[in-house]
Amino acid sequence: MKFLIDRCAGHRLAEWLRSLGHDVVEAIDLGRDPGDSALLSTAQKAGRIVITIDTDFGKLIFADDEQHSGLVRLPSVPAQSRIALMEQILVRHEADLLNGAIITVRGNRIRITRRGGP
């Protein structure tokens, strides 16, 4: 899979995904922070799933109807738990990720919003 890791999501997560053979770009490597909307657009054009802890991406998609190729939001997930949670998401929800779903993790709950509805 192709991912774009937001600056706030962490380098360790990016390295772990690479170790599994995924195509990973880190936002920090793209230069100066262009803002969430531009980052989402960059990811969408490249067919990348954004991984972030930032909740603003949800507003961009749901309220502003911006295009995307998938989103994993980990707003309340501590850094030390992100890899374990992403492992669960990759195993249980690979098809959803490949189909551009929005996956939000809050506590022990994983919510999936599929394209075209809940």
pLDDT tens across 45-68, in order?
Answer: 999 999 999 888 888 888 888 899
Provide the residue ranges of all domains of the chain, joining segments of one domain with +: 2-113
Residue at 99: amino acid letter: N
Per-residue exposure over 3-18, b if at least 16 CB sit within 10 Å of its own CB, e if not: bbbbbebbeebbebbe
Q: What is the pTM of this model?
A: 0.92
User: Which residues make Cβ contacts (< 8 Å) with residue 73, sequence separation at least 6?
Assistant: 52, 53, 54, 55, 57, 58, 102, 103, 104, 105
**What is the residue whose two structure tokens read 């531009």?**
38
Q: What is the pLDDT of residues 55-105, one digit of tens each?
A: 888 888 888 888 999 999 998 888 888 999 999 999 999 999 999 999 999
Report the C-alpha gap between 37 and 83 in whole angstroms: 25
Supply angle C-alpha 1, 106, 93, rounded to 5: 30
Phi, psi of 87 (to 5 degrees): -60, -45
